[in-house]
Structure 1
Amino acid sequence: MTTREAFARAKAEGRAALIPYVMAGYPSRGQDLELVRQVLPYADLLEVGLPYSDPLGDGPVIQRASEQALRQGLRVTDVAHFVREIRALTDKPLFLMTYINPVLAVGPAAFFQMFKEAGANGLILPDLPPDEDPQLVALAQEVGLETTFLLAPTSTEARIQTVAPYCTGFVYTVSVAGVTGTRDRLPEGLSELVHRIRQHTDAPVAIGFGISNQATAEQAAQAADGAVIASALIRALEEGRGLGEVLEEVREGLRGVPGPFIG
């Protein structure tokens, strides 16, 4: 299934797409795949986190999870194996969320080829301004990986115009100028931001950073084509709550008010 097919199928069902996040190696190797099995029935796409020691865009919940995975000795090759295991379970689009340092440490060509062969559809690169290294972005796309970058409420019109065309997977729109984390409500103005983004791309737009309950999911669905849920899932695990309960609530919030993505 392609990325656009996944968004279009969700829209045909009368809702915005749900993009849950799982981290490789968290809570441990083996348990991470069990979490994937719990999450997949709710997911239209899946975001797979590569643990990293200095995740600048992530709040304390995801930072703790990343540190726990790294303490167990997880390596990039283990993450690629994890993606391969997930691909054996589903044909839904898989997006690897990674900071740029692991890409450079392995070597961009080898890194991209490794994850393409493992079954990833694309990459989310939160700390790479794509215009800073368009050759690296082109290399990922040539290997067959879609690329997704972040835009924020603080993004200027010029910045949106520059970044949006590099998003061949979907546009990841962060709800706030800050780090990931759960919130009771999202800020106003997201619909206007997404409208501005749509002037420069026909790619689907998903909102992340703060999606944690039915109310925030409804706000995301009113503005965009999909919603990413990350910190709320890890927090649920920390608190011993089931992921299905959280995902069911969020998915309910995405019903009835899908974004205008046509496909």
Structure 2
Amino acid sequence: MKTGKEQIETVFIANKNPLLVAFTVAGDPDYETSLNIIREMAASGADIIELGLPFSDPVADGPVIQCADIRAMDAGMNTDRLFDLVRDFRADNETPVVILTYANLLIRRGISRFYADAAAAGVNGVVIADVPFEESDPFTRAAKESGIAPIMMVSPTTTEERITEIVSKAAGFIYLVAVMGVTGARTGVEHSAIDLLKRVKAKTSVPVAPGFGISTPEQVQEWAKQGADAVIVGSAIVRRIEEHIGDPHAIITAVGEYIRNLKQA
């Protein structure tokens, strides 16, 4: 049986075109609707599902995802329920699942226990948005012990020396922060981010996936043209959930249509 890390690697190997990584906040706006959103994203063409574990101080996230975190926590989402959600999704779907979270949530549970529980639930990779490379050893060690990909982040301010160190520990894919600041839709693609993509890819064979600020089919096409191995889309999906709060059917329809448009691009 393949480990979670190996399952992510297999998906990249099996696809010639860049992958689509689709993000939503786990439990937003409620457990049942969130599960149906995740299923719809996979059915509509998302190659990897990224689930945000709601947190009270999500320093990397903009207002759209912050509001989704609040909705999810108000509806009862927590770490245990996140793993329940992944298990329920895994009952009929093998699409890789990556968790985006913050260090305090892992430390509170116990780092090794978090990764062991994540692997048992069917999680393939974990991104920790607020752990600097220099403090990442306990997390990457526990991830590898559990067969989970420790997905590392690089940004336009990352030095060449730190890029070299980061890619030496990364697995699954490398999360390239494509804009300065927090998550949220932007227009266009920044030249500095394209330059970063090329610098990172020159140092590693691990796939590189830009995220932050990607929301349109045109941006997806531009990243594909520049050689990205995947693109990560989050806030624009969460915005569609927010726009249809109170109407689960409309949420599912809007998210599915949006994912299909991005996948076609």
**Both proteins in one fold, TM over 0.5:** yes
Identify the match of residue 88 of structure 2 among 85, 89, 111: 85
Counterpart of 1:150 in structure 2 is 153
Q: Distance in 1 between matches of 2:129 and 2:138?
A: 17
Partner of 2:3: none
2:30 to 5, 28, 31: 28
* Structure 2 Cα separation of the partners of residues 103 and 150 of structure 1: 17
Compute the displacement of 1:26 (Å): 0.5
Residue 236 of structure 2 is matched in structure 1 by 232
Unaligned runs of 5+ in 1: 254-263
Q: Alpha-carbon deviation of 1:112? A: 0.8
Match of residue 60 from structure 1: 63
Contact kept, 8 Å, 1:10 with 1:44, in 2: the verdict is: no
Match of 1:199? Answer: 202
State the distance in 2 between where 1:243 and 1:130 align: 34
Counterpart CA distance in 2 for 1:219 and 1:179 is: 21
Work out the percentage of aligned pairs sharing the same amino acid.
33
Q: Scaled by the length of structure 1, what TM-score is found?
A: 0.91
Tell me the TM-score normalized by structure 2. Answer: 0.90
CA contact (8 A) 1:131 1:163 kept: no
Q: C-alpha deviations, 1:97-135, integer Å up to 9, x for none? A: 111110000001111111110001110111112331313
Deviation digits for residues 150-208 of structure 1 (CA, Å, limit 9, x no counterpart): 11112111121121112111000011111111122121233321121123321100010
Query: Following the alignment from structure 1 to structure 2, what is the Cα–Cα distance between the partners of residues 151 and 133?
Result: 13
- 1:139 paired residue among 138, 142, 145: 142
Q: Is the 8 A contact 1:62 1:234 kept in 2?
A: yes
RMSD of aligned alpha carbons = 1.4
Hey, what's the Cα distance between the residues in 1 that align with 2:47 and 2:78? 27
2:9 alignment partner, one of 4, 22, 27: 4
1:1-263 equivalences under 5 Å are 2-11=7-16, 15-41=17-43, 42-223=45-226, 224-240=228-244, 242-253=254-265
Deviations 1:67-108 (A, max 9, x none): 111122322101111111111221121111111110000001
Distance 1:72 1:30, change over 3 A: same
